[in-house]
A and B are shown apart, each in its own frame.
Chain A
Amino acid sequence: MHPEEHREAASLEGKFSRQAVVSLLIFAALWEALSYLAPTLGIPAFAIPSFARIGQSLLTITPIDVLVTLARVIGALILSFVLGVALAVLMYQSQNLESYLHPMVRLFMAVPVISWILFAVLWFRGVEFRIAFVLIAVCGPVFLIDALDAMRNVPRELRRMVRSFRPTRLQYFAKLMFPAIVPNLITSWKINLSLAIRVVTIAELVGAVTGIGHQLAVAQELFSVADVFAWTLVLVALLFLLEAVVARVEERMLRWRA
């Protein structure tokens, strides 16, 4: 990047983070003010808890539920990634297979998350299996389509160059295709991370006895907005943490970029 552009980007980043802090502070101040004014406005006090009350709820967060949700998300994403990319490779190699599978994948992608959850509840017994099924059904096609499109977009010139050195099929994918599609796969991971966090929460809300989603269901049953707020904050923090990890991986893997 040109030094001038670099400076511009850095200053924009600084501006953005300043704006973000300011907007968050305004939101927090409004929330806190509303929590004090709620009774005088005829709103029940529990509906808009103060930050002190939310802080108390945060102290009761059970790490095991956070870890369970994290493990479900990461496990299912890894499985979705492996299955999605493997199918993409097969479809890339066989036009016949692609013409049969592509419409099916598109159909899968059009099914709403809630339908997958209902199917999982109706079809399967094990809670973990149900959640994994829903996550894979939602995230797998995203990895598949992104990987397939990316492979198709590898420049013809590079494909011909590598083929002219006569690689085996495995070498062709290992030396050219996979490294070439890494940027797209990282983008897929980013998209799927936020998708998976949302989906796993809904799935846990409906049919699990552990995890953040389940704790949200409990908080809702107890009419504890402070607990809902606290668990939501944990979810957001979890997403930011995972995104930071992916950003770090991206930085390392794509350091060759200009």
Chain B
Amino acid sequence: MAGMIAPPPIEVRQLRKVFRQAASGQPVVAIDRLDLDIAPREVVAIVGQTGCGKSTFFDLMIGLEQPTAGSIRIGGKTPYGDFDHFRGQIATVFQQDRLLPWRSALDNVKLPLELIRLSDDEQRKRSLFWLERLGLGNFAAAYPHELSGGMRQRVAIARAFVVQPNILLADEAFGHLDEVTAAELRETFLTLARESGSTAILITHQLEEAIGVGDRIIVLGRSARLLADIDVARWNKRDFAMLREAIQATLQNNERDFRLIRA
């Protein structure tokens, strides 16, 4: 279990990602020389405006894209180059639930376990356990179209936790839900992430979510330029409104705020 052995540290060095526009062929710099270290078991919220390169960073983290330059190393290995090494170690929760419509809730949760070839019994046992933890024990046989949006996202969360990953990544995972459901699921996700001992990285454009969730908030400007790196524990809850305003100002000006760079 991820909680027993510390997950490997994440080192991002001079990370750069350039895309070519399909129509014009012009290069677009999505990420420009990003440096970042994420310690094992840290819960990090990455916040930034739409189009700042957050989702590109997410794709690079899970190894679906290759960096143009620089590197991401997780315990010394790269998610893109050592793709298979991370099977069962990195799990993701996406913006939409992305459940397979032809699979029941139980079978959707089982999917990552099938890929790491666990025995059928173990797959079933673990998947049912996580569905029950997410409050969906009675809906194991239900198909996605029979579930509400919140329930479907719970299944997606169960699917991420079921492999007991070292690293959990969530990309705007609660943004499409109503406020009450989103807050509830965010809390559940956070509790489970802390219990499991995984390193959790949440990508969001909502400041409230970032402040409420992360031990640490990384604020990215255009081309994923690091604008702020905030140790939330150093802030008193009473000052969260001030913190929010400071982050907002940083984002608006696209300027680094050295008061918000942790030591």
Q: Name A's B-contacting residues (CB within 8 A).
A: 157-158, 160-168, 171, 175-176, 179-180, 182, 254, 256-258
Contacts and interface: CB of A to CB of B under 8 A. Distances in A.
Contacts of B143: 256
A179 B90 CA distance: 24
A157 B96 contact: yes
Interface string B142-157: 0101000000000000
Instruction: Count chain A CB atoms within 10 A of each CB in B90, B98, B104 and give the residue with the most.
Output: B98
A161 B94 CA distance: 8
B139 interface: no
Contact of A157 (B87, B98, B102): B98
B51 to A, nearest CB: 18
- Count chain A CB atoms within 10 A of each CB in B64, B84, B86, B100 and give the residue with the most: B100
What range describes how many residues of B lie at the interface? Answer: 20 to 34
B103 A157 contact: no
A223 to B, nearest CB: 54
Contacts of A167: 115
Interface string B98-138: 10111110000001101100000000000000000000000
A166 B115 contact: yes
Contacts of B56: none
B201 interface: no
A256 B94 contact: no
B18 to A, nearest CB: 20
Contacts of B83: 166
B62 interface: yes
Contacts of A257: 101, 145
Contacts of A164: 62, 64, 90-92
B64 A163 contact: yes
A165 B100 contact: no
A65 to B, nearest CB: 40
B115 A179 contact: no
| A-B residue pairs, 6 tightest by C-beta | A161-B98, A166-B87, A258-B145, A256-B102, A164-B92, A165-B112
Contacts of B101: 256-257
Contacts of B92: 161, 164-165
A157 B94 contact: yes
A166 B88 CA distance: 8
Contacts of A158: 98, 100
B54 to A, nearest CB: 15
A147 B92 CA distance: 29
Given A176-B100, A182-B102, A171 B115 contact: yes
Given A158-B100, A166-B63, A166-B88, 5 more contacts: A163-B64, A166-B84, A176-B100, A256-B102, A257-B145
A162 B92 CA distance: 10
